[in-house]
Amino acid sequence: MRTGNSAGQNKTFDEFRRIEQLQNAGQRDLALEGSVALVSKQSSWPYAHYSLATSLANLGRFEEARRAARKAISLKDSAAPFHAKLGEILHRLDDTDGARNAFGRAIELEPHESSHKVSLAWALRLSGFTDEAFEILDTLYQGGERGHRCVRTYAGLLGQRGEAERGIEVLRPIAEEAHPDPKMLSADWYALSKLYDQTGQYDEAFEAATRGAELSGKTYDPEMRERVFHDRLEAWSEETMPKLARSRSNSDKPVFIVGMPRSGTTLVEQIIAAHPEAYGAGELINVFTAAHELVTPTDFETSMRSLAEGLKTATLDRTARRILKNMEKQAPSGSKPARICDKLLLNFQHLGFIEQLFPNASVIVCSRHPLDTFISSYLLDFEGANSHAYTYNAKWFAHFYALHLRYIEHYKRVCSLPILEVRYEDIVQDQRAQTERLLEHIGLAFDEACLRFHEHERAVITASTDQVRQKMYTKAMRRFEHYEAHLGPVRSALAAQGVDCD
């Protein structure tokens, strides 16, 4: 490392640690700014590139993250964390073999560091290699490893193998231990919630999720959400939409799948991704990042509407090309899919902006019974500093659920994008007819492979990874009835927001 002197070295390490703190706190944009500055000042220091790889990956910019991780490795191949980070990134890029090799190299360099083996097992599980993942974790557990992440992942796999009671047995003791990081315990209790649900212990499942929510520290600000909602409606209104610039992109390749969590978005993506002319890229953050850069005010004097109206065609062209190129890079090497799905759920907030970028894109809005949406979200721990915080409280959920309906109704009225609404219940009850609707909407011929979506091999980096590897089933319909004793507050809150739960 070239920093000139000891004081310079200390300053560099202090900056590296500060960026790590920003990353851990979920302040992703600030972390990236710090990482970029660190690389600029210390371009030959491998940890600067490692920091950049982490910051880029946290923002979903995995192609750039891969390059940064490889640069760090080229400068210091002996650093196991660099290879482990590359493994995480390659997994996100659906490169299972590459991820396996990267984690393997990390394990080779630090054979006694169990976290690398846990990361490998985590990636293998999400890619469908559950037996291999279980073998790794079972060996670690039987050998005395009791780290929270290891035991939690092991317990989840036990549940997946039909041994949920055993999963509860191994996980509950560490969840009840004191721990300096409440979020670690929060994740344990959410994992327990899933195991209790699998065993039909519904009261215990709800109580475990409630304990996890309390420990999570997540917050939700309804007033702020309302302000942003009204700003977006003003920026992309019936009056403004006809006047706003559009990019000259004529691509109909992008398919945006949106909706609330647990509303069937992953199922819809998997059905489409099984088509030989389509690819499911998962939850891409490209549109969110572009919206942040181009149409999010940075001061009180600037309005969202003025930024949207000020966008030039050339700017939209460049942004659309960049986003489309990134989407295409997600697909397997050599493939040229006619349609690529982006299923970042909350893109329903940006449909006006999406139309400016991709006038020929398709949109699919997924919905599900509001109480099923609530309970399936409430029992789940969403990764991220404040990710989907509205699902952690009945009143918060009701407010955001109603807000999301208002977003969708508004954009249906003002956008020219083709928007198809699909209900989870309809898909699971009439798979063929709904699959035909989906494919017709995005301009693809029907293909029988889409009915066998569960056989399609790809990494699924969402909470639905287990479900989409199974054949279609209806048992998740009206799941909320198991939890009726706990749903009074959310029923009341939804009714207060004008949402019908019957």
Distance of alpha carbon 488 from alpha carbon 395, whole angstroms: 11
Distance of alpha carbon 81 from alpha carbon 171, whole angstroms: 27
- pLDDT reported for residue 7: 63
- pLDDT reported for residue 469: 46
Neighbour tally for 238: CB within 10 Å: 10
Q: Which residues of 170-204 are buried (b: 16+ CB within 10 A; e: fewer)?
A: bbbebbeeeeeeebbbbbbbbbbbbbbbbeebbeb
- pLDDT reported for residue 4: 46
Distance of alpha carbon 302 from alpha carbon 289, whole angstroms: 19
Give me 405's structure tokens.
């309906």
Give me 453's structure tokens.
């979506």
What residues contact residue 386 under an 8 Å CB cut-off, 6+ apart? 26, 218, 219
Q: Per residue of the chain (502 residues), what is the pLDDT tens digit?
A: 444 456 667 788 899 999 999 988 878 889 999 999 999 999 999 999 999 999 999 887 888 999 999 999 999 999 999 999 999 999 988 889 999 999 999 999 999 999 999 999 999 998 889 999 999 999 999 999 999 999 999 999 999 999 999 999 999 999 999 899 999 999 999 999 999 999 999 999 999 999 999 999 999 999 999 999 999 999 999 999 999 999 999 999 999 999 999 999 999 999 999 999 999 999 998 999 899 999 999 998 999 999 999 999 999 999 999 999 989 988 887 889 999 999 999 999 999 999 999 999 999 999 999 999 999 999 999 877 778 999 999 999 999 999 999 999 999 999 999 999 999 999 999 999 999 999 999 999 999 999 999 886 555 454 444 554 456 677 778 999 999 999 999 999 999 999 998 7
Task: Read off the amino acid at residue 337.
Answer: P
pLDDT tens figures, 313-371: 999 999 999 999 989 988 887 889 999 999 999 999 999 999 999 999 999 999 999 99
- pLDDT reported for residue 385: 73
Q: Is 397 helix (H, G, I), strand (E, B) or coil?
A: helix
Do 357 and 290 meet the contact criterion of CB atoms below 8 Å apart? yes
Neighbour tally for 433: CB within 10 Å: 11
Inter-helix orientation angle 313-330/286-294, to 10° = 160
pLDDT tens figures, 216-257: 999 999 999 999 999 999 999 999 999 999 999 999 999 999
Sorted by where each starts, the structural domains of the chain and their CATH numbers stand as 250-372+418-496 (3.40.50.300)
Do 391 and 380 meet the contact criterion of CB atoms below 8 Å apart? yes
